[in-house]
Amino acid sequence: MKKLSIYKVFIAYLVLVLSYFVYVNATGTRILGDDKEEFDPNEGRTGTSSGYRGSRYYHK
């Protein structure tokens, strides 16, 4: 009975994963996140840097 419960938990887990997939795709959410930095004029800037971040391409 106990082992059967583990299987049911696994099935529930699969349903949860598939539901989450529907949610992220429907809302355009990228699980890995993105590189944008959000700034709300009423709350202030999220993250630690201000303005454009300073990374530049210096090659060769």
Partner 1 sequence: MSGFDLTEKGKVPATALLNCAHCNNTVRLVTHAQAVNVGCLHCDSLLARQGNRWSRVKDQKSQVRVPTIPLGTKSLFKEIRYAVTGFIVYQETTAPYQWREYVLFSPIHGYAFLSEYDGHWTYFRFVADISLTRNNTHSLTYQEKDYKLFHKYSSQVVYAAGEFPWRLLDNRSHYTEFVAPPYMLTLEKSQDEICWMQGEYVTPEEIQEAFGVAEYMPERIGVGAAEPFATAFSYKKVMAAGGAAVGVLFLLQILFLIFIRPQVLTDQSFSVPIAPEQYGEVTLTALPGPTFTLSSLTGSSNLELELYAPVDDEWFELGVTLINIKTNKAYDFEVGTEYYSGYEGGEYWTEGSQKNSVTLSAMQDGEYTLIVQPYRGALSKVDQFRLWVRRDVPLWSNLWILLLFIAAAPAVQWFRNQSFEKSRWMNSNYSPYDS
Residue with tokens 């930095």: 37
Report the site for partner 1 in 1-60 (rule: CB under 8 A). Answer: 3-4, 6-7, 10-11, 13-14, 17-18, 20-22, 24-41, 51-53, 55-60
CA atoms within 13 Å, Cβ hemisphere of 8? 5
User: What size, in residues, is the chain?
Assistant: 60
Rounded to a whole number of angstroms, the minimum distance from the CB of residue 20 to partner 1 is 7
CB 50 within 8 A of CB 56: no
Site for partner 1, rule CB under 8 A:
3-4, 6-7, 10-11, 13-14, 17-18, 20-22, 24-41, 51-53, 55-60
